[in-house]
Structure 1
Amino acid sequence: MTQRLLRTDGEATRARILQAAGTLMAQSGFAATPSKAIAALAAVDLASINYHFGGREGLLQATLAEAHRHFISEEELRALADSAQPASEKLRALLALLAKNCVNASSWHGRALARELGNPSPQLLQMLQAQVPQKARPVLRILSEVSGIPPHEPALLRCAVSTVAPLIMLTVSAIGIPGPAQAVREMPHEVIAGHMYRFALAGLQAVGQAWAQAGGKK
């Protein structure tokens, strides 16, 4: 019982530190956020950061991983790709979830990632190298089902970039960068998701048709 309580307390402390780091990082970026400020907001001492994360760099990597997981987890993506839904409905569900999380103003996750994308740290690059390939596989499977282009074809990779790029723009605009993306962020996420779905579906089908007509050589 004592070990279980200690484990639970430790998990709660770790989560509180992550929340504090993410909240402050979303405001001004991790580089400009002192560890003392994170510890104060989390109501812990600096030793707790070292204990749970092995230091400041470990905390940054964990915060970025949590921010990336927030948008959609690998488990969610695999479940969606493996589902018996029609391919178009898988695409609709994928974009609906991503759009909702991208424009969630009450969440620190998008703003924290946006700060890092503007000035990438080694920890961001490490996180992306570790997580993106794993998440890309089920996404490519869904796009392949919609377009008819095999997952290993370069044409499908271009489709993936075209599908994801608007989401990246919405994420980066989370820190208040003026422009069209900022105006779109203020729209209901259902409207954004519906537009992205129709745009992506038409594009995937058109590219898939062109790829097939060219004998799979484009």
Structure 2
Amino acid sequence: MPNSSRVPAPASARSKRPDGDATRQQLLDVAGQVFAERGYADATSKEICARAGVNLAAVNYHFGSRDQLYEAVLVEAHHHLLKLEEMQAVASADTDPRAKLRTILTGIVHRAAAPDAHWGSRVVIRELLAPTAFAPTLVHKAIAPKAQVMLGIVTQILGLPPDSPGLQRGLFFMMSPCLALLMAPRAMRENLFPSLSGDLDSLADDMLRYADAGLAALAAQYSSNTR
């Protein structure tokens, strides 16, 4: 005879529903597209749910609120530009640090300049140009962990301590062209600087040459300051 007194397993112990995960991802992708088109202020849960083909309550069910959905979109957007797991794998490889840097820069260039760029690029651009109250989420949850990986690689190249101004400035200056490439309108790149839309591997190589010269100058300057 079955034991009718057995207590059901708590929700945390139950397996996740595949259809629930799919709905959450669908909401995240559609929300990213809507936020990319309209910005945080003008995007509504109603439009997001309508375009995703789900009930209006789905936003609160899967994310807690529209604000928390936007935070998740910010993190997902940056993930499409720079994947932390891939960066960590590159950084831990037993290769020359400049080769590691080239691999990461090439990935950024392809994601930022590709003609079919993911909506994540536009979401990040919007947040950088007109920061919302959720900018700290983008910084702490998405940018900071990846910056630490990059600092480790640049440390290997420059041979400077992590707290050196030369190291920190070198990383910032090195990433600035990537940011400019991300923010430059496609029409400007194609009409004024068509070479920015051509061979993207070659573009990444030139960015590395440009960065390498600046890093070498900083290494010479700040190494001499520590003697």
Which bin holds the TM-score, normalised by the shorter protein? 0.7 to 0.9
Shift of 1:133: 2.3
For 1:116, which of 127, 152, 159 is the aligned residue? 127
Letter in structure 1 aligned against 2:159: G
For 1:152, which of 148, 163, 173 is the aligned residue? 163
Residue pair 2:189, 2:196 contacting (<8 A) in 1 also: no
Distance (whole Å) between structure 2 residues aligned to residue 10 and residue 155 of structure 1: 48
Shift of 1:90: 0.8
Partner of 2:201 in structure 1? 190
Residue 35 (structure 2) pairs with residue 25 (structure 1): yes
Distance (whole Å) between structure 2 residues aligned to residue 38 and residue 53 of structure 1: 13
Superposition pairs of residues 78-97 of structure 1, within 5 angstroms: 78-97=88-107
> How does the TM-score come out when normalised to structure 1?
0.88
Shift of 1:109: 0.8
Change (3 A) 1:182 1:162: farther
Q: Any idea what SS the aligned residue of 1:122 has?
A: coil
Residue 176 (structure 2) pairs with residue 165 (structure 1): yes
Partner of 2:151 in structure 1? 140
Change (3 A) 1:182 1:132: farther
Tell which deviates more after alignment, 111-120 or 45-54: 111-120
Distance (whole Å) between structure 2 residues aligned to residue 132 and residue 109 of structure 1: 14
Structure 2 stretches of 5 or more lacking a match?
Answer: 1-13
Change (3 A) 1:51 1:182: farther
Partner of 2:216 in structure 1? 205
Shift of 1:172: 2.1
Shift of 1:48: 0.5
Distance (whole Å) between structure 2 residues aligned to residue 80 and residue 19 of structure 1: 27
Partner of 2:45 in structure 1? 35
Residue pair 1:92, 1:197 contacting (<8 A) in 2 also: yes
Distance (whole Å) between structure 2 residues aligned to residue 66 and residue 181 of structure 1: 31
Letter in structure 2 aligned against 1:193: A
Runs of at least 4 residues of structure 1 off by over 3 A? 176-185
Partner of 1:74 in structure 2? 84
Residue pair 2:114, 2:197 contacting (<8 A) in 1 also: no
Post-superposition Cα deviations, 1:103-157, rounded to whole Å, max 9, x if no partner, equal: 2332111011111212111112222123322211110011111122222211100
Percentage identity across paired residues of the two chains: 32
Q: Any idea what SS the aligned residue of 2:77 has?
A: helix
Distance (whole Å) between structure 2 residues aligned to residue 134 and residue 203 of structure 1: 24
Residue 25 (structure 2) pairs with residue 15 (structure 1): yes
Distance (whole Å) between structure 2 residues aligned to residue 44 and residue 35 of structure 1: 11
**What is the RMSD computed on CA atoms of the aligned residues?**
2.2
